Amino acid sequence: MPDPNGFLRYDRRLPARRPVPVRIMDWREVYPPAGEELIREQATRCMDCGIPFCHDGCPLGNRIPDWNDLVRTGGWDAAVESLHATNNFPEFTGRLCPAPCEAACVLGLGGQQPVTIKQVEVEIADAAVARGGLRPQPVPAPTGRSVAVVGSGPAGLAAAQQLARAGHAVTVYERDDALGGLLRYGIPDFKLEKRHIDRRLAQLAAEGVRFRTGVNVGVDVTAEELRAEHDAVLLACGALQGRDTPETPGRALRGVHQAMAHLVAANRVVAAAGEGRPALATLPDGRPIDAAGKHVVIIGGGDTAADCLGVAHRQGAAGVHQLDLYPEPPADRDAARDPWPTWPWVLRSYPAHEEGGERVFAVAVQEFVDDGTGQVRAVRIAEVTVEKVDGRRIVTALPGSEREIPADLVLLAIGFEGTEEQPLLAQFGVTRNGRGAVDARPDWQAGADGVFVAGDMHRGASLIVWAIAEGRAAAAAIHAYLGGVGTLPAPVDPARQPLAAR
């Protein structure tokens, strides 16, 4: 029986992050472990409210009150089992999820701070490793059916694990040189050290999943070849088409780059250093890219922008500005706009924001300014208002508000335009919709018979928790398509949306 009064005795507390001057000298994760005493205290704040809206907030339907109470009472092994019943990779979500479950925690109804659900989750995930490692599950007798998974991000890997555990022969094809999707070279080590991915991959391999890296499906192997070899194909290729701003004067100047070019290059350098290989951060065309000693301007307000900020400080930037088109959000939920338990529009500060830099809200770049040699020397910005008219965004610059910010390196982190246009799409008979994503039918199929889609490729650029949920659900659909015995869990359907008031 959970403690009904725990939230009255204890305030919400999180472990202190590593000190900023120390952590910006390395690439290691910014959070130290919470310690058993703190995490059991915080789990005690969950009152088992009876109708846990956190379940609906979490796309995976994680059984949050169950594992909170198991942690409260020290039942770590049972908590590990309960968490893994709904989430293949809690070590990823526990570190990186923005935690829509916490926005939906019933404590928020009475003006209390939510339970630290995400922190409890990561502590359970790490306890699994500490208490004997991520043991492979015994695999049932082979079904004789085989599945190709294209893309090794969290959607592809979750589906692969579910299908292998149901007895199907699964091969994951990845065009990159290493597995993990955006978790490998998109997200920096200070948010997710790569040993977590490697540990989980070892578990998948031991459960029978085969991996083929350096294979660009549609180019190195055709859809026809893949279909001849496998009974079903899951496309989980992500939404990696970066949005650009070609119409802004000066976009072609040296020093103005897509954020992902910078992030991927920087993360590859960290990976190489970890393996004892020398490496220089370079763009795909071989030019070096590094923020050291530079005035950096990051355009955008999301995860990608915050990751660029943390990378720029670790590379030794002289100064960083982060520009956002929208006004500064309020510190607290505006209940009239975003009533509990929906995801509120509030100011979100990532650990990278504690490390320095200046955030500038409600501005838009008017021009990237040339230093006379074809290299950017500044951005000219104007204060703006943003309105939605008939679903379209209208940005209006305030006359007389223009000014320059010095810039030697400009990073465009202004979002993604869906999955990339690539030969694989036509070969599998799938097309991009108006958002650049690939629509799925209710059984997760898209295009030709036996071709399924999941994750960012279907949803558009989203979150790890959604990618895992869609990977699990698509695996359930593939299992049914292959005539598998019984059913696999399907936490979401293709039409599922985040909790909304209307």
Ligand X SMILES: Cc1cc2nc3c(=O)[nH]c(=O)nc-3n(C[C@H](O)[C@H](O)[C@H](O)COP(=O)(O)OP(=O)(O)OC[C@H]3O[C@@H](n4cnc5c(N)ncnc54)[C@H](O)[C@@H]3O)c2cc1C
Beta partners for residue 359, in sequence order: 322
- Phi, psi for residue 204 in degrees, rounded to 5: -60, -45
- Answer yes or no: are the C-beta atoms of 406 and 376 closer than 8 Å: no
Q: Closer to ligand X at the Cβ: 90 or 151?
A: 151
Q: Which does 216 bind (CB under 5 to 8 A by kind): ligand X, ligand SF4, none?
A: ligand X
Q: How far is the CB of 61 from ligand X (least distance, A)?
A: 16
* CB 406, min distance to ligand X, A: 25
- In the complex with ligand X, the residue whose CB is nearer, 143 or 216, is 216
Which of residues 76 and 466 has its CB atom nearest to ligand X in the complex?
A: 466
| Closest CB 463 distance from ligand SF4, rounded Å | 8
Measured from the CB atom, the residue of 344 and 436 that comes closer to ligand SF4 is 344
CB of 38 to ligand X, least distance (A): 23
Backbone φ and ψ for 393, nearest 5 degrees, come out as -90, 125
Q: Which class for 323: exposed (0-12), middle (13-18), buried (19 or more C-beta within 10 A)?
A: buried
Residue 254 pairs in a beta bridge with 375
Residue 462's binding partner among ligand SF4, ligand X, none (Cβ under 5 to 8 angstroms by kind) is ligand X
For 228, the token pair is: 């001849």
Q: What is the pattern of x (binds ligand SF4, CB under 6 A) and - over residues 454-473?
A: -----------x--------
> Is the Cβ–Cβ distance between 344 and 330 less than 8 Å?
no
Question: Which C-beta is closer to ligand SF4: that of 15 or that of 450?
Answer: 15
Q: Assess 488 for contact with ligand SF4 (CB under 6 A).
A: no
Q: Alpha-carbon distance 260 to 47, whole Å?
A: 42
Q: How far is the CB of 62 from ligand SF4 (least distance, A)?
A: 4
Cα–Cα distance for residue pair 114/120, rounded to 1 Å: 12
Q: Which does 6 bind (CB under 5 to 8 A by kind): ligand X, ligand SF4, none?
A: none
Nearer to ligand X, 407 or 465 (CB): 465
418 Cβ contact list (under 8 Å, min separation 6): 239, 241, 432, 433, 435, 436, 437, 460, 461
**Residue 60 binding target from ligand SF4, ligand X, none, CB below 5 to 8 Å by type:** ligand SF4
Residue whose CB is less far from ligand SF4, 297 or 463: 463
Binding mask 57-96 for ligand SF4 (x = CB under 6 A): xx-x-x-x----------------------------x---
How is residue 199 written in tokens?
Answer: 């540990």
User: Of 180 and 484, which CB lies nearer to ligand SF4 in the complex structure?
Assistant: 180
Q: What is the nearest approach in angstroms of ligand X to the Cβ of residue 210?
A: 14
Helix axes 303-315, 259-274, angle to 10 degrees: 50
Contact between 118 and ligand SF4 per CB under 6 A:
yes
Phi-psi region of 120 (alpha: psi -120 to 50; beta: other; left: phi over 0): alpha
Q: Which does 304 bind (CB under 5 to 8 A by kind): ligand X, ligand SF4, none?
A: ligand X
End-to-end alpha-carbon separation of the chain, Å?
35
- Tell me how crowded residue 199 is: count the other CB atoms within 10 A of its CB: 14
Q: What is the DSSP letter of 288?
A: B
Q: Is 97 in the site for ligand SF4 (CB under 6 A)?
A: yes
Quote the CA–CA distance of 2 and 374 in Å, as a whole number: 65
Rg (CA), the chain: 23
Neighbours of 279 (CB within 10 A): 13
> What minimum distance in Å lies between the beta carbon of 84 and ligand SF4?
12
C-beta of 2 vs 238, nearer to ligand X: 238
CA angle 70-74-78, nearest 5°? 50
In the complex, least distance from residue 373 CB atom to ligand X, rounded to whole angstroms: 31
Nearer to ligand X, 186 or 344 (CB): 186
Decide if 359 contacts 320 (C-beta within 8 A): no
- Strand extents, DSSP E, 216-277: 232-235, 256-258
- The verdict on 99 binding ligand SF4 (CB under 6 A) reads yes
Residues that bind ligand X (CB under 6 A): 96-97, 150-156, 173-176, 181-183, 186-187, 191, 216-218, 236-238, 240, 263, 303-304, 307, 422, 424, 455-457, 462-465, 467
Binding site for ligand SF4 (CB under 6 A): 57-58, 60, 62, 64, 93, 97, 99-101, 117-118, 121, 465
